[in-house]
Amino acid sequence: MDGMSHVPQNGPVIATRLVAEGAVPVGSARVNDYDSFAEAYTAVNDASLIGAYYARPAILALAGEVARRRILDAGCGSGPLFEALRDRGAIVTGFDQSAAMLDLARRRLGDDADLQLADLGSPLPFPGGAFDDVIACLVLHYLEDWTGPLAELRRVLRPGGRLIVAVDHPFVTVLANLDAGRKASYFGVSERTEEWTIGDRTALMTFWHRPLHAMAEAFTAAGFRISVISEPEPDPAARELFPDDIAAKPRFLCFLFFVLHAS
């Protein structure tokens, strides 16, 4: 999950710094390498305000009643959302491109959990119409081109099935660039690279900014109908666990959430 500098972050955090344009070698093996910091990231993500008390509660609220629904957790990471969905009675399958993250997910979920190594940028190893819901929580914004990935997610959904998405809020990415003294255009599709520091681990992470209209066009072109666009409040429990942050910003922009229906 993507840590954002404009969001209150108390307790364990991911410190982020925007990297100057052109400072990252093209094709660098270090970029977006979750294998290199999987355990440190998981420790933060499991307890952080924006992970445990903002993004996951928002996804679960949008998913609603999931008992007996077949759900694909796309980019499942170390499995916290998979676990929450399974606890609610869903039949969950997960995939991630990080082998280290999947190892942590198996520790959390057990060896019988349906977890597969796969990349959203490539064809997925699932039959057509296999799922009632797909959840893509904070994965699409790593991709420059959404055409193939959205087509694959549409393919594995049954007709009328739901795709529930969380991505970086486009307004927040523009603010982050402006605060760093970089040129920022809301309306274009643009790349940004951050240096993440988690404990003693540092990694380069690259994301793609999209304006809302470009997201909507990509969703509809892939055969989805937009049912919900959400900018939620944090979970009520955050008020007690992060009192200083919530007192300063009881609501904040961080991620943008969608519920889409496959036509």
pLDDT band at 4 (very low <50, low <70, confident <90, very high): very low
In the predicted structure, residue 5 carries a pLDDT above the cut 60: no
Confidence of residue 202 (pLDDT cuts 50, 70, 90): confident
| Average pLDDT, integer, range 4-21 | 51
Task: State yes or no: pLDDT of 85 exceeds 70.
Answer: yes
According to DSSP, residue 61 is labeled H
Does 117 have pLDDT greater than 80?
yes
Residue 8 · residue 246 · CB < 8 Å: yes
pLDDT at 30 over 80: no
Radius of gyration of the chain (CA): 17
Nearest to 195 by CA among 210, 174, 175, 180: 180
- Mean residue pLDDT of the chain comes to 90
Query: Mean per-residue pLDDT for 148-164?
Result: 98
Region 123-132: mean pLDDT is 98
DSSP 129: T
pLDDT band (50, 70, 90) for residue 28: very low
At residue 185, the pLDDT reads 87
Amino acid 97: pLDDT: 96
Per-residue pLDDT tens over the stretch 158-197: 999 999 999 999 999 898 888 878 787 899 999 988 888 8
Q: What is the pLDDT at residue 122? A: 95
- The pair of structure tokens assigned to 45 is 């993500």
Confidence of residue 12 (pLDDT cuts 50, 70, 90): very low
201: confidence class by pLDDT, cuts 50, 70, 90: confident
| Exposed / middle / buried, residue 192 (Cβ in 10 Å: 0-12, 13-18, 19+) | buried
Look at residue 20 in the predicted model and tell me its pLDDT: 52
Measure the CA angle with vertex 223, ends 230 and 130; round to 5°: 90
Mean pLDDT of the 63-70 span: 98
- Band of the pLDDT at 31, cuts 50, 70, 90? confident
Say how many residues make up the chain. Answer: 263
Question: How does pLDDT run across 34-52, given as a tens digit for each residue?
Answer: 999 999 999 999 999 999 9
Q: Which amino acid is at 193?
A: T
Burial class (CB in 10 A: 0-12, 13-18, 19+), 114: middle
Report the alpha-carbon distance of residue 42 to residue 16 in Å, rounded.
16
pLDDT for 6: 38
Would you state the pLDDT for residue 194? 87
Tell whether the model's pLDDT for residue 102 goes beyond 90: yes
Kindly report the number of other CB atoms within 10 A of residue 86's CB atom.
Answer: 20
